[in-house]
Structure 1
Amino acid sequence: MSHSRVQFRVSAALVAVFVGGTACSSSASPAATGTAPPHATVTAPPVTAGFDYQIGGAYTPPSQVRVVSRDHTAQPAAGLYNICYVNAFQAQPGAEGEWGDLLLRDANGNVVMDEDWGEGLLDLRTADKRQRVAAKVNVWVDDCATKGFQAIEPDNYDSFTRSKGLLSDSDAQAYIRVLSAHAHKKGLAVGQKNTSELAGQRQANGLDFAVAEECGDQNKCGEYTPAFGDHVIVIEYTDAGLRTACDRWGGSLSIVRRDHGVAPAGASGYVRKTC
């Protein structure tokens, strides 16, 4: 889980694309606009919308919220745009036994861990293993679609940066293309989680919007917008990060400040602020 770690098809002719949750027509090419629209068969989250990050536990969203991200085990929030969180690149803590030979191991046979969160990395080095990992993750994706979510947020896209050199960004991209193709068939938009260095490949990888943690704090929000335009959701974990994000991007991006534990409302440590 990386929530507190620093971290489409378009024809040449006139096409209908979804922008801000509504259908509109556009004859501008991606080159002319500086960004490609979302995949033609899905709806990306509305831009500059009130957002709440609830992956630590579901609760009644504040009245101004229009977009919510919740864990795939939760139910979507009625009447809102719902993003379904799935830990797609790493095993949940204590769940290593569910993955067998799909865990990434070093030369000594030890599972390569995300030390910050105690999560074993998944082995994406071969096409066979990518397909087998995706088959398990796509069970969750299918459940997201059945429940009525409109998008998925595959977390830990950047696991290759913690793999001790065993995984490459090419492995990550090949795998996420498998996930995005399946999600699109289910009518779900796909969010790129962090990993700003790969934002320029969003169209090839089938990614429709971005979920960027701490990009205000790290001065990285501008690394997403050339590729995703205003389809960027920003999550900050400090007041300073929130101020920076709001000062520069408050009029164009969806921005929220949450506590590091992403606690439900009413729980100890809960924090939620916006611009």
Structure 2
Amino acid sequence: MPLPRVQFLTGAALAVVVLAGTACSADATPAAAVTPPPVKAGFDYQIGGAYTPASDVKVVSRDHTAQPAAGLYNICYVNAFQAQPGAEGEWGDLLLRDANGKVVIDEDWDEALLDLRTADKRTRVAAKVDAWVDDCAAKGYQAIEPDNYDSFTRSRGLLSDADAQAYIRLLSAHAHAKGLAIAQKNTSELSDQRQANGLDFAIAEECGQQKNCGEFTPAFGDHVIVIEYTDGGLKTACSRWGSLSIVRRDHDVVPKGEAGYVRKTC
């Protein structure tokens, strides 16, 4: 779906031009048009498989292939900056390659990085991800979680934070046009650019473990969801940033009932 080139803000007499690969202010969509998750709400991270949420859960994040949880605030997970393992063939020339033509891989998750170095490629990558966003909106999700915003840090210097930000502005403009809030995933070093990049809340993994949850709050206030993968990280997050939504999950985020499942809260 092509991005609108001009959007007029009712009552503000302001036209915002949205061009592929250029900056897009968060003001391009009125704040009332999207609703971020409620603060300090019970959260469950279900991107590894959907299951019935516990009674304390008010907000859940699920993969875009899953249905949202009835009666809750639902966040739709999309791997927006990297290819899922086994799906590399779907991306063609949009995979990031080094000078020798070798695909650049995120070794931790065995995922190929996507090539965001030109406006043309950013627009083409965004078109594919936007189709998932459209599906999320049609299913009734309220927000989008575009994962691996920080993939430029694993690109062997081939991608820059400017590339990542130019691309995420395309995603945020499209999400807002669909009435969806959009998260900043990790990447605390870019939090001060949240408004310019059109990001509504943050999802921070292991900021308790890394003791840096406070790097998100100046920009996002209490609109931060914290996911920890160790008991120590959970304890630190709860004791120091108890006003945030905090959960501890197992590293593979498996569904409840499977071996290794863990979910704890403050």
- Taking structure 1 as the reference length, the TM-score comes to 0.86
**Aligned residue runs from structure 1 range 75-90, under 5 A:** 75-90=67-82
Provide the secondary structure at the position in 2 that maps to 1:164: coil
**Any residues of structure 2 matched to 1:43-82 within 5 Å, and which?**
43-82=35-74
Within 2, Cα distance between the matches of 1:199 and 1:40?
A: 21
Contact 1:39/1:189 (<8 A) preserved: no
Conserved? CA contact 1:10–1:40, under 8 Å: no
With over 3 angstroms needed to count, the CA separation of the structure-2 counterparts of 1:66 and 1:10, relative to structure 1, is farther
Counterparts in 2 of 1:39-188, with a 5 A limit?
Answer: 39-188=31-180
Structure 2 unmatched ranges of 5 or more: 1-7, 13-29
Aligned residue type for 1:255: I
Report SS of the residue matched to 1:107: coil
Which residue identity lines up with residue 139 of structure 2 in the other structure?
K
Q: Which amino acid aligns with 1:272?
A: R
In structure 2, the residue matched to 1:261 is 252
Aligned counterparts of 2:52 and 2:254: Cα–Cα separation in 1: 13
SS in 1 for 2:158: coil
Tell me the number of residue pairs that the alignment of Structure 1 and Structure 2 aligns. 243
1:41 to partner: Cα distance: 1.1
**Offset at residue 10 of structure 1 (A):** 10
TM-score (norm 2): 0.89
Shift of 1:39: 3.3
Amino acid at match of 1:67: V
C-alpha separation in 2, matches of 1:219 and 1:184: 31
Rounded to whole Å, the distance in 2 between the matches of 1:10 and 1:139 is 25
The equivalent of 1:239 in structure 2 is 231
Q: 1:197-216 counterparts in 2 under 5 A? A: 197-216=189-208
Query: After the TM superposition, which parts of structure 1 deviate over 2 Å for at least 4 consecutive aligned residues?
Result: none
User: What's the secondary structure of 1:40's corresponding residue?
Assistant: helix
Quote the RMSD (CA, aligned, Å): 1.8
1:52 aligns to what SS in structure 2? strand
Structure 2 residue matching 1:211: 3-state secondary structure: strand
Distance 2:240 2:163 in 1: 34
Residue 234 of structure 1 contacts residue 253 of structure 1 at CA under 8 Å; is this kept in 2?
yes
SS at match of 2:58: strand
Unpaired segments ≥5 residues, structure 1: 1-8, 14-37
In structure 2, C-alpha distance between the alignment counterparts of 1:219 and 1:10, rounded to whole Å: 40
The question of whether the paired residues in 2 share the 8 Å contact of 1:104 and 1:123 is answered with yes
Whether the 8 Å contact between 1:39 and 1:206 is mirrored in structure 2 is: no
User: Aligned-pair distance for 1:119?
Assistant: 0.5
